[in-house]
């Protein structure tokens, strides 16, 4: 059976979870493109809520004002737009905030906001709606464990924290950010790993039926090939 036939006859749900800066979004985007599936970057959604919190002074001294946030959660609209070049961007209450949500300020607070139960509840609801008709590649931390526990294919991606920090540094440098240092990024990556793995609600954890992909020493091409191989086993 070739891929063209199989994608027409069967659509599956693909959950891609793992540590931050593992290249999950790059690989998920590429996979969705090859399969003609929808791609959803759930990290961007939590980043959007974080930007809202920062703009509305709902975080102080690394504490999220959960009471105030719970009153405002229904006023926070998170959606994706598609640019002319096909790139996806995040919209917060109708505004394109794709650039702002990648800033260090948002990156350093997002784990705090993502740990708030009411935020997770709202985002998980939204994510389930987005994946209702299958044919989706969704990346995040709890997709295989909480959002889509019945996903046909679950990938858990990992790589060493040093390699992940270097990748993020390269990405930021390529976008013209010269200020941030390797040490700063490494610290941010490791701190986020810690918070993501130890939070009470939906901590980052490999689903029992997920396949591990350690891409520390893999090229993008090798990785794409590995993924397509796993997908083809399920179609």
**CB of residue 41 to ligand DC, shortest distance in Å:** 7
Q: Which is nearer to ligand DC, 214 or 229 (CB)?
A: 214
**CB of residue 178 to ligand DC, shortest distance in Å:** 21
Q: Contacting ligand DC (CB under 6 A), which of 90, 142, 189, 227?
A: 142
Does position 23 bind ligand DC by CB under 6 A? Answer: no
Q: Which is nearer to ligand DC, 2 or 174 (CB)?
A: 174
State which of positions 72-131 bind ligand DC (CB under 6 A).
110-111, 114
**In 3D, which of 79, 114, 195, 205 has the Cα closest to residue 154?**
205
Q: Contacting ligand DC (CB under 6 A), which of 140, 144, 172, 189?
A: 140
Does position 141 bind ligand DC by CB under 6 A? Answer: yes
Does position 210 bind ligand DC by CB under 6 A? Answer: no
Instruction: Tell me how far apart the alpha carbons of residues 3 and 5 are, in angstroms, rounded to a whole number.
Output: 5
**In 3D, which of 218, 202, 9, 234 has the Cα closest to residue 116?**
202
Q: Which is nearer to ligand DC, 39 or 46 (CB)?
A: 46
Instruction: Tell me how far apart the alpha carbons of residues 146 and 161 are, in angstroms, rounded to a whole number.
Output: 25
State which of positions 175-204 bind ligand DC (CB under 6 A).
192, 196
Q: Which is nearer to ligand DC, 130 or 235 (CB)?
A: 130
Instruction: Tell me how far apart the alpha carbons of residues 132 and 22 are, in angstroms, rounded to a whole number.
Output: 26
Q: Which residues bind ligand DC (CB under 6 A)?
A: 20, 42-43, 46-47, 110-111, 114, 140-142, 192, 196
């Amino acid at each position: 059976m070739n891929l063209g036939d199989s994608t027409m006859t069967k659509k599956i749900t693909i959950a891609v979870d793992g540590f931050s800066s593992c290249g999950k979004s790059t690989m998920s985007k590429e996979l969705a493109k090859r399969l003609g599936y929808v791609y959803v970057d759930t990290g961007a959604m939590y980043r959007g809520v974080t930007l809202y919190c920062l703009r509305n002074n709902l975080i102080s001294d690394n504490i999220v004002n959960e009471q105030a946030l719970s009153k405002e959660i229904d006023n926070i609209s998170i959606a994706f737009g598609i640019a002319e070049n096909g790139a996806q961007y995040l919209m917060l209450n109708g505004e394109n905030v794709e650039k702002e949500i990648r800033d260090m300020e948002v990156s350093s607070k997002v784990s705090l906001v993502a740990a708030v139960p009411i935020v997770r509840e709202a985002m998980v609801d939204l994510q389930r709606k987005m994946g209702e008709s299958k044919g989706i590649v969704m990346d995040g931390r709890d997709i295989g464990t909480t959002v889509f526990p019945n996903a046909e294919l679950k990938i858990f991606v990992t790589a060493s924290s040093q390699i992940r920090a270097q990748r993020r540094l390269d990405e930021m440098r390529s976008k013209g950010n010269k200020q941030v240092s390797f040490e700063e990024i490494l610290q941010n990556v490791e701190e986020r790993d810690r918070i993501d793995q130890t939070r009470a609600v939906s901590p980052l954890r490999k689903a029992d039926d997920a396949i591990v992909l350690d891409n520390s020493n893999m090229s993008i091409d090798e990785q794409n090939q590995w993924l397509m191989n796993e997908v083809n086993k399920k179609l």
